[in-house]
Chains A and B, each alone.
Chain A
Amino acid sequence: MKVAVVKYNAGNIYSVIHALKRMGVDPILSDDPDTLATADKVLFPGQGEASNAMQYLRRHRLDEVIRNLKQPILGICIGQQLMCRHSEEGNTDCLGIFDAEVKRFIPERHEDKVPHMGWNQLTEVSSPLFKGFSDNEFVYFVHSFYVPVCNQTIATTEYILPFSAALHHDNFYATQFHPEKSGSVGERILKNFLDL
């Protein structure tokens, strides 16, 4: 199986590559349209700031390339947010794959710290991505912006309010959490994705 990871200006891309290697997959890190289009699976990971990331994707024409992919693609963290319509972070127009607006967490109590960072639970999981999952399994999050629950939500997490922990539309999948940093639970999600 040919697995590609989208190469762009976001941080922490290598942790996904390490996670795939631990599973016996040797991914290709690439920003080449043909390489991405012909891969069996594509991952779109990263940490970073939305407007800088979108600027980079547009300049390298990766926005069109990602939108036109036909195989399963998994966005992670900022990847998920960039796949939405618009983000409040830097007032950024994003890829528009998911019909959702990315919002900033507003603390309601002193205990509500932003970024939302640490292990939190998945509920209402409904996707082959979560095959074999029971409710309330823990995954690792680090983020200050979130996608509200919408009709493309396939997993929900509660922090300040319920938000989309994962999204799905056609061949596009995305998680707000980091499966590559979520221990054995995260490995199961990556394996389920590779099995799609």
Chain B
Amino acid sequence: MLAKRIIPCLDVKDGQTVKGTNFVNLRQAGDPVELGHAYSEQGADELVFLDITASHEGRKTFTDMVQRVAAEISIPFTVGGGIGELKDVERLLAAGADKVSINSAALRRPELIDEITSHFGSQVCVVAIDAHLDANGWTCYLNGGRIPTERGLFEWAREANDRGAGEILFTSMDHDGVKTGFAYEALHRLSEELTIPIIASGGAGAMEHFRDAFTLGHADASLAASVFHFGEIGIPQLKQYLKEENINVRL
């Protein structure tokens, strides 16, 4: 049976891992390759590395890091952050990434999804969506959650699905960093409406939250950062717990 996946996410700035609360107040949390390797040894199913550097030099540092990850780590990994066009995707896949995650660039120009999938296949294209629940429902945001758009979460996710995206990585901005659980209802609706896997992101604070992302949210994978980085939840204990809760995980 296909296992539910546990994915630690590493935000990388100038070659170092950082994690914010509600997208601000960054804290240091170590060397990304070392941290990624440790997670792989502990049983993480995949890794996500997000480049949150804005500068050109930062991009180069990140590409070097991707090469190191590819050489040293034996599980699949996704990279994202600052991908604007097909040649960014080419550069990161050539450096050894298994998948790329695109966000603002896809909202600005949805054809990028078609371009990536026709060149490299659906499986490499993860569409990340940051959304906030406001008076109009779930609204998609650009630039790491700073700029609201006209697009709603469900209709944009459907379009990404239809354009050939391989997975949707949905982050609830309302839940991110707050550690009170994922956005289960929105996850469940995404899972009902789409034909591709959904990765739940934003809100993990306890092991029960991961269980609920799978049972209530029907997610295919759960992603978290700080609870893993600061050792609040260990991946081996989490997977043991999920197995006891009858969720199929890789042990």
Contact = CB atoms under 8 A, between A and B. Distances in A.
A49 B122 CA distance: 12
Interface in B178-198: 192, 195-197
A138 B3 contact: yes
A186 interface: yes
A180 B74 contact: yes
Contacts of B70: 14-15, 18
A136 B67 CA distance: 32
Contacts of A118: 2-3, 5, 45, 197, 220-221
Contact of A183 (B75, B96, B167): B75
21 contacts: A11-B93, A14-B96, A15-B70, A15-B96, A18-B71, A22-B74, A47-B121, A107-B195, A110-B195, A116-B2, A117-B123, A118-B5, A118-B45, A118-B197, A118-B221, A121-B1, A142-B76, A180-B74, A182-B74, A184-B74, A187-B74
Contact of A158 (B1, B5, B76, B93): B1
Interface in A1-59: 11-12, 14-15, 18-19, 21-22, 47-49
A22 B167 CA distance: 29
B63 interface: no
Contacts of B111: none
Nearest to A180: B74
- Looking at chain B's contact residues, the main secondary structure is loop
Interface of B: 1-3, 5, 40, 45, 70-72, 74-76, 93, 96, 98, 120-123, 166-167, 192, 195-197, 220-221, 250
B74 A113 contact: no
Contacts, number: 73
Interface in A158-178: 158-159
Contacts of A184: 74
Contact of A138 (B40, B120, B122, B250): B250
Contacts of B167: 117
A120 B5 CA distance: 11
Contacts of A182: 74-75
A59 to B, nearest CB: 21
Interface of A: 11-12, 14-15, 18-19, 21-22, 47-49, 107, 110, 113, 115-121, 138, 140, 142, 158-159, 180-184, 186-187
B61 to A, nearest CB: 20
Most buried by A among B3, B45, B250: B250
A158 B71 CA distance: 31
A119 B40 contact: no
B72 A119 contact: no
Given A47-B121, A117-B123, 16 more contacts: A11-B93, A11-B120, A15-B98, A18-B70, A22-B71, A117-B197, A118-B2, A118-B5, A119-B3, A142-B123, A158-B1, A159-B2, A180-B74, A181-B75, A184-B74, A187-B74
Contact of B40 (A11, A15, A183): A183
Nearest to A11: B120
Contacts of B2: 116, 118-120, 159
Nearest to A178: B76
Contacts of A107: 195
Contacts of B121: 11, 47-49
A137 to B, nearest CB: 9
Nearest to A47: B121
Contacts of B196: 113
